[in-house]
Structure 1
Amino acid sequence: MPDAPLKQVQTPTVSPRPSACPGLWRIVSARDGGICRIKLPGGLLLADQADAVAGAAERFASGVIEATNRGNLQIRGIGNDHQGLIDSLLAAGLGPREAASDDVRNLMLSPLAGHDPAMVLDVRPLAAQILELLQGTTRFHQLSAKFALQLDGGEGLAMLDHPHDLWLSALRLEQRTWLAFGLAGCPADGQVLGAVPVEQGLALVRAVLERFLDLATPEQARMRQLLEGCPVNRFVEGLGLNIRRDAAVLDWRREAGNSPWLGALEQQQGMALGIAPPLGRLTADMLRGAARVAREQGDGSLRLSPWQSLVLPNIAGASIAEAQRDLSALGLLCHNHEPLARLVACTGSSGCAKAHGETKADAVTLAAMLPAGAPASVHLSGCQRSCAVAHVAPATLLARSSGRYDLYLRDARLPGFGALRAANLTLKEAGAMLALPTEHLDD
């Protein structure tokens, strides 16, 4: 049986507060129509809900559905009937009946939370408590719609590079499970500020959010902005909890997740299947097809991932190949070796007024140029905002005009996309450079 959806708060409807960030209740205008973002509880989407999203995208929009880099879905090209779209999604249990509650549901888990063979902790019960706290605490509705949390159970399939306002990561010390935590960063950056016993995880989240709201000015919407003027040790010392901060905690480092996110994935019991829409964009038929496979060969659930992909858990190993054939026929990526699996691209100028190039179309062209030795991940961004990727990719092509890109290589010593390697390249020139062995790219 699939995991039960995390508890939804049912309260009277209210008008959305002002924000540029789309949500279920807040449909934001773009060049290709409105955008509605569906924030999924821990990335969980039931098969019947997937069918509802597909139907809503066809009925009220252009049929374009996107997987986001924080494990959510969004519908693009929405027409004039906003309320009809919202009502259809609410009827499928895809959000709370209050805009402010929906805004703060920014909690990222591994798509194999509760199933990953490497996990230290099944974080789903604590995740449900955190989401209920965020949705049901009126004061926390003051948080920015971008304020984000990560709960990491030590899974092998884990995105550890996305920055979060608060992250928590499970570890074992002295035969006990603890939650290490950090602020305005990610588990991969090594900046552990302390740890609490797992039983105090919810209290830690509450204390951090309350202290943030106590200290932050209206201009300080994110934790990193607050910490520019508030020493991090002062922030932690004021939490009012017994936080462990000895060397065993402060020197602990999260091991990198090394599990693939496409293809057959190992679970503690059975198998899962990782699939991805090309460049993060689903058709209604793709989503329905994934829902059908999840229902017929899995447990009736899908998990959205921060790689703009989906995981179908609890599929019998003997059924994996058949499921891959069915889903490949719909245009979904099912194997790591597929060229488009290595590329990420934003919406591009056809859908976004800020973009300087048709990044998605250019990514399809570029995919045919890249040999096996090219960077494992190449990001095409239409502008500096980097909407498609929350972390820095090994290689980034930043559009400067139609068909022209600047090439950056990731460099931990430099901000932004990294080191500028070449400027004003045609797509063919960019492809030729990326086809060079990595050591030559760095020359």
Structure 2
Amino acid sequence: MLAAMPPPVPSPTPAPGAPRVRERGDACPGALRLHSADDGHLARLRLPAGRLTARQVEVLADAAEALGDGRISVTSRGNAELRGLADGCGAELAPLLAEAGLLPSPTHERVRNIVASPASGLDGLGAADVQLWARELDERLCAAPWAAGLSGRFLFVLDDGRGDVTGLGGDVTLVAVAPDAAHLHMGGRAVRVAAADAPRAALAAARAFLSAARAAGTGAWRVRELPEGSGLDVRDVRKALAAEEVPEAVLPQGPPPAPGPLGPAALHVLAPLGRLTAGRLRALLPADEVRLTPWRGAVVAGTDPARLPALEAHGLITRPDSPWAGVSACTGRPGCAKSLADVRADAVPGRPGLPVHYSGCERRCGHPHGDWVDVLAAPGGGYLVDGAPVPRTDLAPAVTTARTAPRTTR
């Protein structure tokens, strides 16, 4: 049965240099534990590597229309959110998700946070197909009873060597460095493991984090929240696997795949402002599978890239030179009580350039990682664009300047 949860009570902000102490459990929403918002309840579905089968695409679109507001929000981790859910919808939603394979473990559904290079195995780039690692890691995660104790915010990142997802702030990051080898990064250190052992190594690292968090007694949800001297050391993975430390391992950094073709049988599109209508989601079919991405789009595998013009006609972003590419926004009004503005209605793209994110309040929910233009709603109806006050009517030129000006000048 689905249960609506009350708004979380934030933990006190720690003093400078002091470790964060989490006095309450993680209130991150899931598919079974809903968040109550001004526009109804919200369900967040964890989709390891963003993967959806064709059948699951249909089920998700049907659920959005029948139970929610008809839209699917794509999160910055490539997960899916249903909004506008009514009270008492649990008798329909949970069985629907379970039957489609979207709820393989009720006890672990919030901890299946796995991001993987979405184009891996499709475009000939990368050292290994980390989508296969993601599937094995998910199976191992759901089969480990202790893993249910991870926070709903703990994140596994699997990069195939191109560096497109390494900047997403993973707690445990696997990087393919050769077809038969990977680097496991955690807490500023790295070890080298065999590619065949990579998913098992990632799970062992997560267990080491849990042990360190319990010993520290601060209720840490993420690796970065552990206090200094917590005893966490990724080299402990060597106790379970044949791993050797890589003293100067550097995380590769690369751009996300551009909207457009991905090899001969795949394509990449973006959802306007990170939301797909049920109709736009269905328009991605036929396909072997659909992979929702951390850039609020979808990689469609097993399809003809010649379909791109038809998908553009459905309102999807299919070209890297689209001014809407890289533009995202939080929920804003009327769905969020904390928001100062209807940021989705106010959003303008400016010219293509840096990613830009519109936020209704200082929490900046869903903002991108890395370098981005910060457009923040201000009291009185205006906005702050990278901290500078801008009237709502002048957003377009201000955002264009911020997206295209050299970053060193701002």
Same fold, judged at TM 0.5 (above): yes
TM class by smaller structure: 0.7 to 0.9
Between the two proteins, the alignment pairs up a number of residues equal to: 383
1:354 aligned partner? 338
Shift of residue 252, structure 1, vs aligned partner:
3.9
Contact 1:64 1:77 in 2 (8 A): no
> Which whole-Å deviations, capped at 9, do the CAs of 1:15-45 have from their partners, x for residues lacking one?
8997422211112111111111111132111
2:312 aligned partner? 328
> Which whole-Å deviations, capped at 9, do the CAs of 1:250-306 have from their partners, x for residues lacking one?
33434433453311122xxx2311112210111111111122xxx2xx43x111111
Contact 1:89 1:95 in 2 (8 A): yes
Amino acid at match of 1:89: L
Residue 311 (structure 2) pairs with residue 311 (structure 1): no
Residue 147 of structure 2 aligns to a residue whose secondary structure is helix
1:417 aligned partner? none
CA distance in 2, matches of 1:440, 1:170: 31
The share of aligned pairs that are identical, in percent, is: 31
Residue 101 (structure 2) pairs with residue 93 (structure 1): yes
CA distance in 2, matches of 1:96, 1:16: 21
1:371 aligned partner? 351
> How much is the aligned-residue C-alpha RMSD, in angstroms?
2.5
Which residue among 153, 163, 176 is the counterpart of 1:170? 176
CA distance in 2, matches of 1:154, 1:251: 16
Residue 394 (structure 2) pairs with residue 387 (structure 1): no
Amino acid at match of 1:171: V
- Structure 1 alignment gaps of length 5 or more: 1-12, 185-190, 409-419
Residue 398 (structure 2) pairs with residue 433 (structure 1): yes
- Structure 2 alignment gaps of length 5 or more: 6-24
Alignment of 1:28-427 (within 5 A): 28-80=35-87, 81-98=89-106, 100-155=107-162, 158-172=164-178, 177-183=180-186, 191-216=188-213, 217=217, 219-226=219-226, 228-230=227-229, 235-239=233-237, 240-241=239-240, 242-245=242-245, 249-258=246-255, 260-266=257-263, 270-291=264-285, 295=286, 298-299=287-288, 301-316=289-304, 320-321=305-306, 323-363=307-347, 366-367=348-349, 370-372=350-352, 375-401=353-379, 403-408=381-386, 420=387, 422=388, 424-427=389-392
CA distance in 2, matches of 1:164, 1:440: 25
Contact 1:379 1:393 in 2 (8 A): no
1:5 aligned partner? none
Residue 333 of structure 1 aligns to a residue whose secondary structure is coil
Contact 1:356 1:401 in 2 (8 A): yes
Amino acid at match of 2:147: F
Residue 398 (structure 2) pairs with residue 442 (structure 1): no
Shift of residue 152, structure 1, vs aligned partner:
1.2
TM-score by length of 1: 0.79
2:9 aligned partner? none
Distance 1:38 1:402, change over 3 A: farther
Contact 2:41 2:83 in 1 (8 A): yes
Contact 1:327 1:334 in 2 (8 A): yes
Contact 2:261 2:268 in 1 (8 A): yes
TM-score by length of 2: 0.85
Shift of residue 397, structure 1, vs aligned partner:
1.0
Amino acid at match of 2:205: V
CA distance in 2, matches of 1:212, 1:118: 32
CA distance in 1, matches of 2:28, 2:35: 7
Distance 1:108 1:380, change over 3 A: same
Amino acid at match of 1:361: A
Amino acid at match of 1:182: H
Contact 1:275 1:310 in 2 (8 A): yes
